[in-house]
Protein backbone atom coordinates (compact mmCIF):
# COMPACT_ATOMS: atom_id res chain seq x y z
CA UNK A 1 0.00 0.00 0.00
CA UNK A 2 3.04 2.24 -0.15
CA UNK A 3 2.23 4.93 -2.65
CA UNK A 4 3.95 7.54 -4.77
CA UNK A 5 2.73 11.10 -5.08
CA UNK A 6 2.13 10.76 -8.81
CA UNK A 7 -0.19 7.78 -8.33
CA UNK A 8 -2.05 8.67 -5.14
CA UNK A 9 -2.18 12.46 -4.79
CA UNK A 10 -3.49 13.63 -1.40
CA UNK A 11 -4.54 10.11 -0.49
CA UNK A 12 -4.56 10.44 3.30
CA UNK A 13 -6.41 13.15 5.23
CA UNK A 14 -5.54 14.01 8.81
CA UNK A 15 -8.30 14.04 11.40
CA UNK A 16 -8.12 14.72 15.11
CA UNK A 17 -5.09 14.17 17.27
CA UNK A 18 -5.27 10.88 19.17
CA UNK A 19 -1.87 10.82 20.87
CA UNK A 20 1.12 12.96 21.71
CA UNK A 21 4.73 12.27 22.56
CA UNK A 22 8.10 13.92 22.87
CA UNK A 23 8.75 13.22 19.18
CA UNK A 24 5.54 14.83 17.88
CA UNK A 25 1.92 13.75 17.61
CA UNK A 26 -0.33 10.96 16.36
CA UNK A 27 -3.42 11.73 14.29
CA UNK A 28 -6.33 9.81 12.94
CA UNK A 29 -5.76 9.46 9.20
CA UNK A 30 -8.45 8.55 6.69
CA UNK A 31 -7.70 6.98 3.33
CA UNK A 32 -9.60 9.23 0.92
CA UNK A 33 -9.98 6.38 -1.59
CA UNK A 34 -11.12 3.55 0.69
CA UNK A 35 -12.46 5.43 3.72
CA UNK A 36 -10.37 3.28 6.08
CA UNK A 37 -8.87 4.70 9.24
CA UNK A 38 -5.21 4.55 10.20
CA UNK A 39 -2.85 6.10 12.74
CA UNK A 40 -0.45 8.73 11.38
CA UNK A 41 2.63 9.62 13.41
CA UNK A 42 4.13 13.02 12.61
CA UNK A 43 7.42 14.63 13.61
CA UNK A 44 9.21 17.69 12.26
CA UNK A 45 11.59 16.55 9.55
CA UNK A 46 14.25 19.06 10.65
CA UNK A 47 14.31 17.78 14.23
CA UNK A 48 17.74 16.49 15.31
CA UNK A 49 15.83 13.72 17.11
CA UNK A 50 13.89 12.61 14.02
CA UNK A 51 13.27 8.87 14.20
CA UNK A 52 10.28 7.96 12.03
CA UNK A 53 12.29 7.07 8.89
CA UNK A 54 14.31 4.68 11.04
CA UNK A 55 11.21 3.23 12.68
CA UNK A 56 9.75 2.63 9.21
CA UNK A 57 12.78 0.45 8.39
CA UNK A 58 12.07 -1.71 11.42
CA UNK A 59 8.41 -2.12 10.47
CA UNK A 60 9.53 -3.35 7.04
CA UNK A 61 11.72 -5.97 8.70
CA UNK A 62 8.69 -7.08 10.74
CA UNK A 63 6.36 -7.11 7.72
CA UNK A 64 3.90 -10.01 7.85
CA UNK A 65 4.47 -10.69 11.53
CA UNK A 66 1.31 -11.39 13.51
CA UNK A 67 1.02 -8.77 16.22
CA UNK A 68 3.11 -6.10 14.46
CA UNK A 69 1.27 -3.11 12.94
CA UNK A 70 1.38 -3.00 9.17
CA UNK A 71 3.27 -0.08 7.67
CA UNK A 72 1.00 1.47 5.03
CA UNK A 73 2.96 4.56 4.07
CA UNK A 74 5.85 6.74 5.13
CA UNK A 75 7.37 9.84 3.66
CA UNK A 76 7.81 13.57 4.03
CA UNK A 77 5.13 16.21 3.61
CA UNK A 78 5.16 19.97 4.31
CA UNK A 79 8.21 19.75 6.55
CA UNK A 80 7.02 16.68 8.50
CA UNK A 81 8.05 13.05 8.52
CA UNK A 82 4.88 10.96 8.40
CA UNK A 83 4.38 7.30 9.28
CA UNK A 84 0.99 5.65 8.59
CA UNK A 85 0.30 2.34 10.35
CA UNK A 86 -2.68 0.24 11.40
CA UNK A 87 -5.08 1.84 13.84
CA UNK A 88 -5.11 -0.28 16.98
CA UNK A 89 -6.99 -0.41 20.26
CA UNK A 90 -6.06 0.56 23.81
CA UNK A 91 -2.74 -0.28 25.43
CA UNK A 92 -2.20 -2.64 28.34
CA UNK A 93 -1.60 0.45 30.47
CA UNK A 94 -5.05 1.73 29.45
CA UNK A 95 -6.58 -1.62 30.38
CA UNK A 96 -4.65 -1.66 33.66
CA UNK A 97 -6.22 1.66 34.63
CA UNK A 98 -9.63 0.53 33.37
CA UNK A 99 -9.41 -2.47 35.72
CA UNK A 100 -8.45 -0.48 38.82
CA UNK A 101 -4.67 -0.84 38.42
CA UNK A 102 -4.41 -4.53 39.21
CA UNK A 103 -4.71 -7.60 37.02
CA UNK A 104 -5.61 -11.12 38.10
CA UNK A 105 -2.98 -13.86 37.87
CA UNK A 106 -4.91 -15.41 34.97
CA UNK A 107 -4.86 -12.17 33.00
CA UNK A 108 -1.13 -11.69 33.62
CA UNK A 109 -0.49 -15.24 32.41
CA UNK A 110 -2.53 -14.57 29.26
CA UNK A 111 -0.79 -11.30 28.38
CA UNK A 112 2.60 -12.63 29.49
CA UNK A 113 2.33 -15.56 27.09
CA UNK A 114 1.49 -13.19 24.25
CA UNK A 115 4.36 -10.84 25.12
CA UNK A 116 6.78 -13.77 25.06
CA UNK A 117 5.38 -14.93 21.69
CA UNK A 118 5.73 -11.45 20.20
CA UNK A 119 9.27 -10.91 21.41
CA UNK A 120 10.39 -14.33 20.23
CA UNK A 121 9.29 -13.42 16.70
CA UNK A 122 10.80 -9.92 16.91
CA UNK A 123 14.09 -11.43 18.06
CA UNK A 124 13.98 -14.11 15.37
CA UNK A 125 13.91 -11.30 12.82
CA UNK A 126 17.10 -9.84 14.26
CA UNK A 127 15.53 -7.02 16.27
CA UNK A 128 15.56 -6.19 19.96
CA UNK A 129 12.93 -3.68 21.11
CA UNK A 130 14.75 -2.01 24.03
CA UNK A 131 11.70 -0.24 25.47
CA UNK A 132 9.36 -2.93 26.78
CA UNK A 133 6.54 -1.36 28.80
CA UNK A 134 2.73 -1.66 29.08
CA UNK A 135 2.19 1.36 26.82
CA UNK A 136 3.92 -0.43 23.95
CA UNK A 137 1.54 -3.39 23.82
CA UNK A 138 -1.83 -2.60 22.23
CA UNK A 139 -4.96 -4.66 21.72
CA UNK A 140 -6.38 -5.05 18.26
CA UNK A 141 -9.83 -3.98 17.16
CA UNK A 142 -12.91 -5.97 16.21
CA UNK A 143 -12.16 -9.64 15.73
CA UNK A 144 -8.53 -9.00 16.76
CA UNK A 145 -9.49 -7.49 20.14
CA UNK A 146 -7.81 -10.37 21.99
CA UNK A 147 -4.54 -10.14 20.03
CA UNK A 148 -1.70 -8.09 21.50
CA UNK A 149 0.37 -5.94 19.15
CA UNK A 150 3.84 -4.61 19.88
CA UNK A 151 4.53 -1.03 18.79
CA UNK A 152 7.00 1.84 18.99
CA UNK A 153 10.32 0.70 17.57
CA UNK A 154 12.03 4.08 17.77
CA UNK A 155 14.68 2.67 20.12
CA UNK A 156 14.96 -0.76 18.50
CA UNK A 157 18.31 -2.14 17.40
CA UNK A 158 19.57 -5.18 15.56
CA UNK A 159 21.26 -7.77 17.76
CA UNK A 160 23.28 -9.51 15.03
CA UNK A 161 25.67 -8.30 12.35
CA UNK A 162 25.79 -8.96 8.60
CA UNK A 163 27.42 -12.35 9.22
CA UNK A 164 24.67 -13.39 11.62
CA UNK A 165 26.92 -13.04 14.66
CA UNK A 166 25.78 -11.36 17.85
CA UNK A 167 26.85 -7.72 18.17
CA UNK A 168 29.84 -7.24 20.49
CA UNK A 169 29.53 -6.36 24.15
CA UNK A 170 30.12 -2.71 24.97
CA UNK A 171 30.16 -0.80 28.20
CA UNK A 172 29.67 2.84 29.18
CA UNK A 173 26.43 3.28 27.26
CA UNK A 174 23.65 5.66 28.25
CA UNK A 175 20.38 4.24 29.55
CA UNK A 176 18.10 3.40 26.64
CA UNK A 177 14.48 2.61 27.44
CA UNK A 178 12.21 3.26 30.41
CA UNK A 179 13.93 3.15 33.80
CA UNK A 180 10.99 1.51 35.60
CA UNK A 181 11.16 -1.62 33.42
CA UNK A 182 14.70 -1.73 32.04
CA UNK A 183 17.12 -4.50 32.98
CA UNK A 184 19.89 -4.30 35.55
CA UNK A 185 22.63 -4.52 32.86
CA UNK A 186 20.99 -1.59 31.03
CA UNK A 187 21.21 0.49 34.22
CA UNK A 188 24.91 -0.38 34.39
CA UNK A 189 25.55 0.96 30.90
CA UNK A 190 25.96 -2.40 29.20
CA UNK A 191 25.06 -3.04 25.57
CA UNK A 192 21.62 -4.62 25.40
CA UNK A 193 20.81 -8.05 24.03
CA UNK A 194 17.70 -10.20 23.76
CA UNK A 195 17.96 -11.00 27.46
CA UNK A 196 17.21 -7.40 28.41
CA UNK A 197 13.84 -7.40 26.64
CA UNK A 198 12.89 -10.52 28.58
CA UNK A 199 13.93 -9.12 31.97
CA UNK A 200 11.70 -6.15 31.18
CA UNK A 201 8.80 -8.53 30.50
CA UNK A 202 9.28 -9.97 34.00
CA UNK A 203 9.04 -6.48 35.52
CA UNK A 204 5.93 -5.67 33.49
CA UNK A 205 4.22 -8.82 34.79
CA UNK A 206 5.14 -7.96 38.39
CA UNK A 207 3.82 -4.43 37.87
CA UNK A 208 0.49 -5.82 36.70
CA UNK A 209 0.30 -8.29 39.60
CA UNK A 210 1.36 -5.93 42.38
CA UNK A 211 -0.10 -2.66 41.14
CA UNK A 212 3.26 -0.90 41.38
CA UNK A 213 6.95 -1.67 41.61
CA UNK A 214 9.05 -0.84 44.70
CA UNK A 215 11.22 1.61 42.75
CA UNK A 216 8.33 3.82 41.67
CA UNK A 217 7.74 7.26 43.18
CA UNK A 218 11.35 7.98 44.19
CA UNK A 219 11.87 11.71 44.76
CA UNK A 220 15.36 13.03 44.13
CA UNK A 221 16.87 16.11 42.54
CA UNK A 222 18.19 14.59 39.30
CA UNK A 223 17.51 11.76 36.89
CA UNK A 224 21.00 10.40 37.44
CA UNK A 225 20.35 9.98 41.15
CA UNK A 226 16.91 8.60 40.37
CA UNK A 227 18.30 5.94 38.04
CA UNK A 228 20.98 5.05 40.60
CA UNK A 229 18.33 4.52 43.29
CA UNK A 230 16.17 2.42 40.95
CA UNK A 231 19.20 0.22 40.21
CA UNK A 232 20.03 -0.07 43.91
CA UNK A 233 16.52 -1.30 44.69
CA UNK A 234 16.43 -3.71 41.75
CA UNK A 235 19.71 -5.26 42.90
CA UNK A 236 19.04 -5.24 46.65
CA UNK A 237 15.45 -6.51 46.85
CA UNK A 238 15.52 -10.33 46.61
CA UNK A 239 13.34 -11.89 43.88
CA UNK A 240 11.48 -13.84 46.58
CA UNK A 241 10.51 -10.54 48.20
CA UNK A 242 9.58 -8.94 44.89
CA UNK A 243 7.33 -11.90 44.10
CA UNK A 244 5.94 -12.48 47.60
CA UNK A 245 2.36 -13.75 47.55
CA UNK A 246 2.55 -14.79 43.89
CA UNK A 247 2.89 -18.22 42.27
CA UNK A 248 6.58 -19.15 42.43
CA UNK A 249 6.74 -19.38 38.64
CA UNK A 250 6.94 -15.58 38.40
CA UNK A 251 10.02 -15.58 40.64
CA UNK A 252 11.52 -18.34 38.50
CA UNK A 253 11.01 -16.29 35.34
CA UNK A 254 12.60 -13.19 36.88
CA UNK A 255 15.62 -15.12 38.17
CA UNK A 256 16.03 -16.87 34.81
CA UNK A 257 16.03 -13.64 32.79
CA UNK A 258 18.55 -12.06 35.13
CA UNK A 259 20.92 -15.01 34.77
CA UNK A 260 20.95 -14.99 30.96
CA UNK A 261 24.26 -14.15 29.32
CA UNK A 262 24.67 -11.08 27.12
CA UNK A 263 24.58 -12.99 23.83
CA UNK A 264 22.53 -15.95 25.05
CA UNK A 265 19.31 -16.84 23.29
CA UNK A 266 16.41 -16.82 25.77
CA UNK A 267 14.55 -20.09 26.19
CA UNK A 268 11.14 -18.76 25.25
CA UNK A 269 9.54 -22.20 25.56
CA UNK A 270 10.80 -22.56 29.14
CA UNK A 271 9.31 -19.19 30.06
CA UNK A 272 6.02 -20.09 28.40
CA UNK A 273 5.85 -23.40 30.26
CA UNK A 274 6.18 -21.60 33.59
CA UNK A 275 3.10 -19.47 32.85
CA UNK A 276 1.21 -22.36 31.28
CA UNK A 277 1.92 -24.34 34.43
CA UNK A 278 0.19 -21.68 36.53
CA UNK A 279 -2.79 -21.84 34.17
CA UNK A 280 -2.95 -25.65 34.39
CA UNK A 281 -2.65 -25.72 38.18
CA UNK A 282 -5.68 -23.45 38.43
CA UNK A 283 -7.57 -25.19 35.60
CA UNK A 284 -7.70 -21.96 33.59
CA UNK A 285 -8.02 -21.98 29.81
CA UNK A 286 -6.51 -19.52 27.36
CA UNK A 287 -9.95 -18.25 26.43
CA UNK A 288 -9.16 -14.56 26.07
CA UNK A 289 -11.42 -13.66 28.99
CA UNK A 290 -9.06 -11.14 30.52
CA UNK A 291 -10.10 -8.83 33.33
CA UNK A 292 -11.18 -5.99 31.04
CA UNK A 293 -13.47 -8.28 29.06
CA UNK A 294 -15.12 -9.60 32.22
CA UNK A 295 -15.47 -6.08 33.63
CA UNK A 296 -16.94 -4.81 30.39
CA UNK A 297 -19.44 -7.68 30.35
CA UNK A 298 -20.61 -6.74 33.82
CA UNK A 299 -20.75 -3.02 33.08
CA UNK A 300 -22.61 -3.41 29.81
CA UNK A 301 -24.95 -6.23 30.82
CA UNK A 302 -24.55 -7.54 27.28
CA UNK A 303 -22.41 -10.64 27.24
CA UNK A 304 -22.46 -10.80 23.46
CA UNK A 305 -21.09 -7.29 23.15
CA UNK A 306 -18.00 -7.53 25.32
CA UNK A 307 -15.34 -5.00 24.26
CA UNK A 308 -18.05 -2.71 22.83
CA UNK A 309 -15.91 0.14 21.48
CA UNK A 310 -18.02 3.12 22.52
CA UNK A 311 -18.65 1.86 26.05
CA UNK A 312 -15.03 0.94 26.60
CA UNK A 313 -13.83 4.24 25.14
CA UNK A 314 -16.05 6.14 27.57
CA UNK A 315 -14.61 4.20 30.52
CA UNK A 316 -11.06 4.88 29.34
CA UNK A 317 -11.71 8.60 28.83
CA UNK A 318 -13.15 8.91 32.34
CA UNK A 319 -10.22 7.00 33.83
CA UNK A 320 -7.74 9.19 31.99
CA UNK A 321 -9.44 12.39 33.16
CA UNK A 322 -9.32 11.18 36.76
CA UNK A 323 -5.68 10.17 36.38
CA UNK A 324 -4.68 13.52 34.88
CA UNK A 325 -6.52 15.42 37.61
CA UNK A 326 -4.85 13.33 40.32
CA UNK A 327 -1.43 13.79 38.70
CA UNK A 328 -1.90 17.57 38.48
CA UNK A 329 -3.00 17.73 42.12
CA UNK A 330 -0.05 15.60 43.23
CA UNK A 331 2.40 17.68 41.22
CA UNK A 332 1.03 20.91 42.68
CA UNK A 333 1.30 19.47 46.18
CA UNK A 334 4.90 18.43 45.55
CA UNK A 335 5.79 21.82 44.12
CA UNK A 336 4.24 23.58 47.09
CA UNK A 337 6.02 21.26 49.51
CA UNK A 338 9.50 21.32 48.04
CA UNK A 339 10.42 22.72 44.65
CA UNK A 340 13.59 20.61 44.57
CA UNK A 341 11.66 17.34 44.22
CA UNK A 342 10.23 18.17 40.82
CA UNK A 343 12.87 16.10 39.06
CA UNK A 344 11.01 12.99 40.04
CA UNK A 345 8.11 13.82 37.76
CA UNK A 346 8.31 11.91 34.52
CA UNK A 347 11.46 10.04 35.44
CA UNK A 348 9.74 6.76 34.70
CA UNK A 349 9.38 7.91 31.12
CA UNK A 350 11.65 6.72 28.34
CA UNK A 351 15.28 7.73 28.28
CA UNK A 352 16.76 8.60 24.92
CA UNK A 353 19.72 6.66 23.70
CA UNK A 354 22.99 8.46 23.40
CA UNK A 355 23.74 10.33 20.22
CA UNK A 356 26.42 7.77 19.39
CA UNK A 357 24.82 4.39 19.93
CA UNK A 358 27.72 2.51 18.40
CA UNK A 359 26.90 -0.43 16.20
CA UNK A 360 23.22 0.34 15.89
CA UNK A 361 23.55 1.39 12.27
CA UNK A 362 25.60 -1.60 11.25
CA UNK A 363 23.42 -4.14 13.02
CA UNK A 364 20.22 -2.62 11.70
CA UNK A 365 21.70 -2.42 8.21
CA UNK A 366 22.42 -6.14 8.35
CA UNK A 367 18.96 -6.85 9.69
CA UNK A 368 17.27 -4.68 7.08
CA UNK A 369 19.37 -6.05 4.26
CA UNK A 370 18.47 -9.61 5.20
CA UNK A 371 14.79 -8.74 5.34
CA UNK A 372 15.00 -6.90 2.05
CA UNK A 373 16.52 -9.88 0.28
CA UNK A 374 13.87 -12.16 1.73
CA UNK A 375 10.87 -9.99 0.99
CA UNK A 376 11.95 -7.82 -1.90
CA UNK A 377 10.95 -4.77 0.12
CA UNK A 378 13.84 -2.69 -1.17
CA UNK A 379 15.17 -1.78 2.28
CA UNK A 380 18.49 0.08 2.02
CA UNK A 381 21.30 -2.26 3.08
CA UNK A 382 23.79 0.33 4.34
CA UNK A 383 22.05 3.12 6.23
CA UNK A 384 24.10 5.47 8.39
CA UNK A 385 21.86 5.00 11.42
CA UNK A 386 23.40 6.40 14.61
CA UNK A 387 20.98 6.57 17.51
CA UNK A 388 19.65 9.99 18.45
CA UNK A 389 16.69 11.58 20.16
CA UNK A 390 13.89 10.23 22.28
CA UNK A 391 11.12 7.74 21.73
CA UNK A 392 7.38 8.19 21.52
CA UNK A 393 5.77 8.80 24.89
CA UNK A 394 2.12 7.94 25.25
CA UNK A 395 1.80 6.74 21.68
CA UNK A 396 -0.96 4.20 22.21
CA UNK A 397 -4.10 4.81 20.18
CA UNK A 398 -7.19 4.61 22.36
CA UNK A 399 -10.12 2.51 21.26
CA UNK A 400 -12.07 5.77 21.12
CA UNK A 401 -10.42 6.36 17.78
CA UNK A 402 -11.99 3.21 16.42
CA UNK A 403 -15.47 4.31 17.39
CA UNK A 404 -15.13 7.72 15.73
CA UNK A 405 -16.81 8.26 12.39
CA UNK A 406 -14.76 7.61 9.28
CA UNK A 407 -15.70 10.93 7.78
CA UNK A 408 -13.05 12.85 9.70
CA UNK A 409 -11.50 14.19 6.54
CA UNK A 410 -10.90 17.71 7.81
CA UNK A 411 -7.79 18.38 9.91
CA UNK A 412 -8.50 18.89 13.59
CA UNK A 413 -7.82 22.22 15.22
CA UNK A 414 -4.10 22.54 15.85
CA UNK A 415 -3.13 19.84 13.37
CA UNK A 416 -0.06 20.53 11.21
CA UNK A 417 -0.97 22.15 7.93
CA UNK A 418 -0.23 19.14 5.75
CA UNK A 419 -3.83 18.64 4.66
CA UNK A 420 -3.96 15.56 2.47
CA UNK A 421 -0.64 13.97 1.71
CA UNK A 422 1.01 11.26 -0.26
CA UNK A 423 4.69 12.24 -0.28
CA UNK A 424 7.37 9.70 -1.13
CA UNK A 425 6.81 5.99 -1.21
CA UNK A 426 7.78 3.91 1.80
CA UNK A 427 10.84 2.57 0.02
CA UNK A 428 12.17 6.04 -0.76
CA UNK A 429 12.83 7.42 2.72
CA UNK A 430 16.37 8.73 2.87
CA UNK A 431 19.01 7.55 5.33
CA UNK A 432 18.95 9.09 8.77
CA UNK A 433 22.19 10.44 10.13
CA UNK A 434 23.10 11.37 13.70
- Which amino acids are annotated as binding site, given as ranges? 41
Task: Kindly tell me the sign of the dihedral angle through the C-alpha atoms of 93, 95, 96, 100.
Answer: positive
DSSP secondary structure of 242-309: HTTTS-HHHHHHHHHHHH--TTPPP-HHHHHHHHHHHHHHTT----S--HHHHHHHHHHS-GGGTT-H
SS3 406: coil
Task: Return the H-helix or E-strand segment holding 123.
Answer: helix 105-124
Q: Do 388 and 368 form a contact (C-beta atoms < 8 A)?
A: no
| Residues contacting 82, CB < 8 A, separation 6+ | 40, 41, 42, 52, 73, 74, 75, 76, 418, 421, 423
**Active site annotation includes 131:** yes
Q: How many CA atoms lie within 13 A of 117 on its CB side?
A: 16
Using left for φ > 0, alpha for ψ between -120 and 50, and beta otherwise, residue 251 falls in alpha
Measured distance CA(265)–CA(268) in Å, rounded: 9
Q: Do 157 and 363 form a contact (C-beta atoms < 8 A)?
A: yes
Task: Return the H-helix or E-strand segment holding 12.
Answer: strand 12-21
| Residues contacting 234, CB < 8 A, separation 6+ | 184, 187, 215
Residues that constitute the known binding site for ATP: 41
DSSP secondary structure of 55-101: HHHHHHHTTT-TTSPPEEEEEEETTEEEEEEE----BHHHHHHHTTS
Which of these is catalytic: 94, 131, 291, 347? 131
Q: Do 115 and 157 form a contact (C-beta atoms < 8 A)?
A: no
Reported in sequence order, the residue ranges of 164-259 that DSSP labels E, i.e. its strands, are 177-178
| Residues contacting 260, CB < 8 A, separation 6+ | 194, 195, 198, 199, 266
| Residues contacting 377, CB < 8 A, separation 6+ | 60, 63, 371, 427
Measured distance CA(34)–CA(298) in Å, rounded: 36
The residues carrying an active-site annotation are 131
Amino acid sequence: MASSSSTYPKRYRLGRRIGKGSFGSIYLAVDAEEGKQYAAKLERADSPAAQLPYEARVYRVLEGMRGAPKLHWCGRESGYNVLVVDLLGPSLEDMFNFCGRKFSVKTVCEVGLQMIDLLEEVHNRGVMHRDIKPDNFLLGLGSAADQLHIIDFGLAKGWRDSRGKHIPFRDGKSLTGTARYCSIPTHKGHEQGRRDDMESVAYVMLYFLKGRLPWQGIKVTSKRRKYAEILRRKESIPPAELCAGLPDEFRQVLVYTRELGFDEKPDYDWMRKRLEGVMEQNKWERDGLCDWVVKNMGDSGRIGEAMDAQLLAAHIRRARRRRLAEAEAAKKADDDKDSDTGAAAGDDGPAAAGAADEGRGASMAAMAGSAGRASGAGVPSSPNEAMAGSRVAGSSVAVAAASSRAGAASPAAGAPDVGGFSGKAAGEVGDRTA
